[in-house]
Structure 1
Amino acid sequence: MLATRSLRVPAHISLLHVEQEVAGDDTPALQSVLESDTVREDLLHRERELSTQIAAGRAEGSEAAQLAEIYAKLEEIEADKAPARASVILAGLGFTPKMQQQPTREFSGGWRMRLALARALFARPDLLLLDEPTNMLDVRAILWLENYLQTWPSTILVVSHDRNFLNAIATDIIHLHSQRLDGYRGDFETFIKSKQERLLNQQREYEAQQQYRQHIQVFIDRFRYNANRASQVQSKLKMLEKLPELKPVDKELEVVMKFPDGFEKFSPPILQLDEVDFYYDPKHVIFSRLSVSADLESRICVVGENGAGKSTMLKLLMGDLAPVRGIRHAHRNLKIGYFSQHHVEQLDLNVSAVELLARKFPGRPEEEYRHQLGRYGISGELAVRPVASLSGGQKSRVAFAQMTMPCPNFYILDEPTNHLDMETIEALGRALNNFRGGVILVSHDERFIRLVCRELWVCEGGGVTRVEGGFDQYRALLQEQFRREGFL
């Protein structure tokens, strides 16, 4: 409604909603970003027109003055610094110097969404609307974006499930619930505390009023038919009528997830890659002499820039891809459950969630399928609706139900928090912590990583490095890299 100005927004307020990826054509990425500043583009276009007229001898006398005015405006908006500023934004979002010169048609949808974000940041609207901006970014780009937005000169309205991101950039929180909006000052953690205090006070006021109502009602019931007390009874009835109607606090249903773990423990080695080389094209080696291992106690998070090979390594670990050289070792009793970041592609959207499980795991009573789905919040009518009609988060829950049905003893999860709300992310973290098997996951959600993982692997430069200091050390390394490369 804001983006379409269905809500009243003053005409002089410029706004930009980052919702669609940039169209692919022959325009280089850097030029695409520069073109988003329409004021600069218009001035440069007019400057070229006037210069051509003068050079061709078609000037009418006022062109020199107009040019001088345009040059003054270009200097005022620091037009000469624009390419450097656009390049810094693109670099912060992960575009290498070579990528910045590539035509936009050569980028995937994810990279074109980053390009759309870069254009919006470069254009600097008065009101910037961001919808889940961290979904398409890796940890490095998120950290850069946090730093960049902390000095943003105008207003940002962001929808996000990334708690750490909101803590880093938000000055106010708007809570949408029960068809109303409540405003809170401060970051997300402050909002959580303030909301709990507000709800506690609301419940206390409600209970106190209920006691007061009950006390008055007792008097009314006792003397309702006593003629001597008739005026007092009427007075009490009017008091009840005038009392404001307070409502009890609606208790939020706690999201609960559980990964079944009724399996026997077995001894390491469980899952290993030993001296593995891998590439699709010999000219572009993705991994060289890669050696990693995991066991049933593992809680490993893999981070790294998009395109560094995180998903490829997961597929090597699962055995979906075969090493060019080296060995993959998996214990004979290992049973892997895999959650793909493109999990929707694995679901048949034309059938219900119950039918989906029945086709995947035939021969079981319907109640068992319903019970399995209910573990992940897909119950009642949701379980029999076509999967296509479910929200992104609900589709993710169906994918979790399908993944856990065979009771795996090891989970490999590729961006499992995408499309999940905060409560479900917290529930997923608790479920993984309680799970007795092994976990390797790729995630860009800092809070989720801190909640679940005890080991951090960084995927870069054709290999994987274990960061002993965990996420704090990795964050410090990235901050130092930003400072060194001038991205901040």
Structure 2
Amino acid sequence: MAAAVAYEIRSAVPSADSVLVDYLAGLIDDANQEEDVLQVTRMILESPAEDDLPALDRLIERLATIVDAKHQASLADGPRNKKLDKILDMSKTGAMSSTIQFTEGVDLESINKSKATRVDVKKLEKQEAKLRAKIEKRARKDLYEGSKLLDTQRKQQQSYEEMFMKVNPIDATTAKGKSKDIHLPSIDINFGSNRILAGASLTLAHGRRYGLIGRNGVGKSTFLRAIAMRDVPIPAHISILFVEQEIIGDDTTALDSVLKADVWRDHFLREERELNARLAELEDEGTEKRIEDAKEEAAARLVEIHMKLADMESETAPARAAGLLAGLGFSEEDQGRPTRSFSGGWRMRLALARALFVKPSLLLLDEPTNHIDLNALAWLEDYLQTWQNTLLVVSHDRAFLDAVATDIIHQHSSRLDYYKGNFTQFYATKTERDLNLRKEYDTQMQYRAHLQAFIDRWRYNANRAAQAQSKIKILEKLPDLEPPEAEETEKFKFPEAEKISPPLLQLSEVTFGYTPDKIILKHVNIDVGLESRIAIVGSNGAGKSTAIKLLIGDLNATAGNVVRNGRLRIGYFAQHHVDALNAAMTPVGFLASKFPGKSEQEYRSHLGAFGITGLTGLQLIGTLSGGQKSRVAFAALSLQNPHVLLLDEPTNHLDIQGLDALMNALASWNGGVIIISHDERFITTVSNQLWVCGDGTLAKFRGDVQAYKSLIVSNIKTKP
């Protein structure tokens, strides 16, 4: 049987090492049907057979047939189990291979005794190490998937109201006189088998606004979620609200949705209505003592509820909710629409409005700038600057952090570092600190080398031995300094654009509308060349993306002329770029399907130029983070060798390093660039023209993005 198994393996996986084939053949030949050797066999052969996994699956099916046939034959011959003549002491058996822990008791020396001399022990140990690493990786993945499933199940089982009342008990609404500062000297947070924080100190002073920053994948969202679920011991009287995902749409109006977000207010209002109805019923039942006692009890409870509602400023709630919605771009008509009628981005704004309305003691926001336009962002920055409670926000938008944050928390290496001031102050302080640490480390290394050189030279010299011994003591007393962490940087690179004669791309008196009575843009004039650096801003729905689609030809103008050079290649990064990626493919496979003709190494090298390095290029796209998916999309854009890049919200999900890499790449590129973005720093760095889309027009703005944001805020404040 072993020979047949070896033949099958060599036929299906010709690249498999002969030693490995012989080992697996003996393993399968010696195994019982109950042993899961076929699963182990598949794990071991996945690496050499990665180019043809279907063939590996067929091999496992054939081997299963062979094992089953062997088992049937053994049943026909009668039982093979024998009682041992004497007890075998396993503790004294030193010749058992370490592979036993993975193969349920297979003794390698008892497999193929005649072939023992052909087994290279070092190669076998290497294969065992690979198998061990693969099993550990699969275990980590199972833990991660299990954690996600548990989290999803928890959310499905508990509604927003249930979760809110569980996380924020009624004591949180009556916390007058109690300190709302948070100080936890040592917290540990794990996600599956990954350590997010270890012995970290969490300190949040009431009324401060903290910006939480760190690389993609370091665990910032997991950290916020742990706080929101009180997995860390936050005092019960501190109310918490975490804005992480869009609300679920239903028939509730936008305004009512915001009002219902304050669960305790809604609960007390319902109880107030029930008590009033109960009192009305009791009035009609007579004047017996039992009824009078019930009336007194209901009236006393009603007074308590009125006091609680007064503390919550319940009477002003509708006006406050309407004001929040208006600031986030909801018109009076929109506020009366059901939530199911809004798109995902607008539902995210609703979730943000609900959180601001509740006014929790601790507000947690995860990338709030990803889902709003520049107009709403200007309003949100202005609103949060007067936020009186504690704010902890994850963001990669430096301008937003500069405007909002009073402190920065840097999450890295399983710890939290605190810095006073906004992002600009943090960056200056951290840069100076890192420079001083590097100087201190380099100075000590030079001093250590000097001492060691003296010791090595004179240690065995009778005249200098005492001095050498003194230097040894000095060296032993020096503190051990850890080398400073290297600053992680990324670089993106777009291929140089070919020169082509103008005009490249022009809109002349272009008008567009989906129907004659619904004109989106009218009389638009714009000229795009290789030297163009244009940023388009405006509120959502004003027509920014429509203008981009007119430029690329996805929409045809209702009136006017569109001139597009026949040799022009346009690279378009859509706002929802993830939709264009195949989640079931790897980044390498995706590029190969779109741009065939290169080797795998060339695709991996190209992805590396956009931050997709190592084995990340061989993972399924569906398992990548939002920032990594953006990098894959940029890598695909660059393979088009474009003359003009049209980028619709390219900064969403990119961390600060990725954003810096994108800005530097665009600054050094020789092609034309048009961007739609709400990131002030990105707009300022990349563009030299600001165009405003609104009221059916697209026109150049005479001023920078800061002047435009100031204009928005002043207009909001002057509205009645």
Aligned residue in 1 for 2:427? 192
Structure 2 counterpart of 1:41, one-letter code: D
Q: Is the 8 A contact 1:467 1:473 kept in 2?
A: no
Aligned residue in 1 for 2:115? none
Q: 1:373 Cα shift?
A: 1.7
Counterparts of 1:419 and 1:90, CA distance in 2: 25
Structure 1 counterpart of 2:595, one-letter code: F
Aligned residue in 2 for 1:429? 663
Structure 1 counterpart of 2:646, one-letter code: I
Alignment partner of 2:581 out of 347, 355, 368: 347
> SS where residue 417 of structure 1 aligns?
coil
Aligned residue in 2 for 1:86? 321
Counterparts of 2:424 and 2:707, CA distance in 1: 23
Counterparts of 2:306 and 2:627, CA distance in 1: 52
Q: Does 1:465 align with 2:699?
A: yes
TM-score, normalization by structure 1: 0.94
> SS where residue 227 of structure 2 aligns?
coil
Counterparts of 2:447 and 2:495, CA distance in 1: 49
Q: Does 1:50 align with 2:275?
A: yes
Structure 1 counterpart of 2:575, one-letter code: Q
Q: Deviations over 1:45-89 (max 9, x none)?
A: 222112212333357332444434433443343221111111111
Counterparts of 1:421 and 1:279, CA distance in 2: 37
Counterparts of 1:386 and 1:115, CA distance in 2: 32
Superposition pairs of residues 280-319 of structure 1, within 5 angstroms: 280-319=514-553
Counterparts of 1:303 and 1:283, CA distance in 2: 25
Q: 1:445 Cα shift?
A: 0.5
Pick closer, same or farther for the CA change 1:73–1:354 going to 2, 3 Å. closer
Aligned residue in 2 for 1:443? 677
Pick closer, same or farther for the CA change 1:65–1:390 going to 2, 3 Å. closer
Deviates more, 1:329-338 or 1:83-92: 329-338
Counterparts of 2:678 and 2:359, CA distance in 1: 26
Aligned residue in 2 for 1:118? 353
Q: 1:242 Cα shift?
A: 3.0
Counterparts of 1:339 and 1:77, CA distance in 2: 46
Deviates more, 1:81-90 or 1:280-289: 280-289
Q: Deviations over 1:203-245 (max 9, x none)?
A: 1111121122123222322332245665654454343333221
Aligned residue in 1 for 2:213? none
> SS where residue 333 of structure 1 aligns?
coil
> SS where residue 84 of structure 1 aligns?
helix
> SS where residue 61 of structure 1 aligns?
helix
Counterparts of 2:359 and 2:545, CA distance in 1: 34
Q: 1:387 Cα shift?
A: 2.2
Q: Is the 8 A contact 1:50 1:67 kept in 2?
A: yes
Q: Does 1:107 align with 2:332?
A: no
Pick closer, same or farther for the CA change 1:227–1:8 going to 2, 3 Å. farther
Superposition pairs of residues 321-340 of structure 1, within 5 angstroms: 321-340=555-574
Q: Deviations over 1:265-320 (max 9, x none)?
A: 4223x212233332334443322333333222211111111122211211111001
> SS where residue 295 of structure 2 aligns?
coil
Alignment partner of 1:96 out of 320, 328, 331: 331
> SS where residue 251 of structure 1 aligns?
coil
Task: Structure 2: state its 5+ residue gaps.
Answer: 1-225, 286-290
Counterparts of 2:540 and 2:497, CA distance in 1: 36
Counterparts of 1:180 and 1:439, CA distance in 2: 39
Counterparts of 1:472 and 1:186, CA distance in 2: 20
Q: Does 1:13 align with 2:238?
A: yes
Q: Does 1:145 align with 2:380?
A: yes
Structure 2 counterpart of 1:317, one-letter code: L
Q: Is the 8 A contact 2:690 2:701 kept in 1?
A: yes
Alignment partner of 1:71 out of 295, 306, 309: 306
Pick closer, same or farther for the CA change 1:61–1:355 going to 2, 3 Å. closer
Alignment partner of 1:25 out of 232, 246, 250: 250
What is the count of residue pairs matched by the alignment? 485
Q: 1:179 Cα shift?
A: 2.7
RMSD: 1.9
Alignment partner of 2:690 out of 449, 456, 459: 456
Counterparts of 1:218 and 1:403, CA distance in 2: 55
Q: Is the 8 A contact 1:300 1:455 kept in 2?
A: yes
Q: Deviations over 1:334-364 (max 9, x none)?
A: 2111111111111122222222222111223
Alignment partner of 1:244 out of 469, 474, 479: 479
Aligned residue in 1 for 2:493? 258
Aligned residue in 1 for 2:121? none
Task: Structure 1: state its 5+ residue gaps.
Answer: none
Q: Is the 8 A contact 2:604 2:617 kept in 1?
A: yes
Pick closer, same or farther for the CA change 1:364–1:219 going to 2, 3 Å. closer
Counterparts of 1:41 and 1:484, CA distance in 2: 32
Structure 2 counterpart of 1:483, one-letter code: K
Q: Deviations over 1:143-194 (max 9, x none)?
A: 1111111111111111100000000111111112233221111110000010
Aligned residue in 2 for 1:41? 266
Q: Is the 8 A contact 1:304 1:310 kept in 2?
A: yes
Aligned residue in 1 for 2:71? none
Counterparts of 2:707 and 2:429, CA distance in 1: 31
Counterparts of 1:379 and 1:77, CA distance in 2: 52
Counterparts of 1:317 and 1:136, CA distance in 2: 24
Q: Is the 8 A contact 2:535 2:674 kept in 1?
A: yes
Aligned residue in 2 for 1:380? 614
Counterparts of 1:216 and 1:449, CA distance in 2: 53
The structure number with the bigger radius of gyration is 2
Aligned residue in 2 for 1:357? 591
